[in-house]
């Protein structure tokens, strides 16, 4: 058994929001990824802006940014954060017939911003699915992961760095 105490539970095992009032404010950044795999024809439609519902990547970018700002409403016990920046970038890969999404969120705060980056990546992926489901119901969303985070007491983390 791990000696780590679950911070979202009190001594009686009841859910609680972690008290961050004594923590130091620091610049925090997190980047998360999600991958949407699809048929080659679907990717071609997206890249040529011929999806009937409109500009898929523009809509997915806006959805991801909006979702990051609402993470505390979606994930129980997350703190509302004064987010200073959210970016959502897409890397289409025609060889693998997929779009890799990377979302980065930043805050000067007392608690991490990983959930906001993950939420942005996931909602961007779901938006791509929603806008393209009429032409490809076999799309999958995979590889959702935190890629990197910096700031706070736990310091820097980079996936695969050890």
Q: Tokens representing 100?
A: 């890799």
CA 27 to chain centroid, in Å, comes to 18
What is the SS3 string spanning 121-142? HHHHHHHHHHHHCCCCCCCEEE
Dihedral, CA of residue 106, residue 108, residue 110 and residue 115, to nearest 10: -10
19 in active site: no
Q: Determine which one of 19, 93, 130, 136 is catalytic.
A: 130
Closest CA to 143 of 48, 66, 35, 64: 35
User: Which of 94, 147, 91 lies closest to 124, judged by CA?
Assistant: 91
Active site residues: 130
């Amino acid at each position: 058994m791990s000696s780590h105490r679950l911070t979202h539970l009190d001594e009686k095992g009841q859910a609680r929001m972690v008290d961050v009032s004594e923590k130091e404010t620091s610049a925090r950044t997190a980047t998360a990824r999600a991958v949407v795999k699809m048929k080659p024809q679907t990717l071609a439609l997206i890249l040529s802006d011929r999806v009937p519902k409109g500009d898929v990547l523009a809509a997915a970018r806006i959805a991801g940014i909006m979702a990051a700002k609402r993470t505390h409403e979606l994930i129980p016990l997350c703190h509302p954060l004064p987010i200073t920046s959210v970016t959502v970038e897409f890397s289409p890969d025609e060889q693998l017939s997929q779009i890799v999404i990377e979302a980065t969120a930043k805050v000067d705060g007392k608690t991490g911003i990983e959930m906001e980056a993950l939420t942005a990546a996931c909602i961007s992926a779901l938006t791509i699915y929603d806008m393209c489901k009429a032409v490809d119901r076999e799309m999958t969303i995979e590889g959702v992961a935190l890629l990197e985070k910096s700031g706070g007491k736990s310091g820097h983390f980079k996936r695969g760095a050890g």
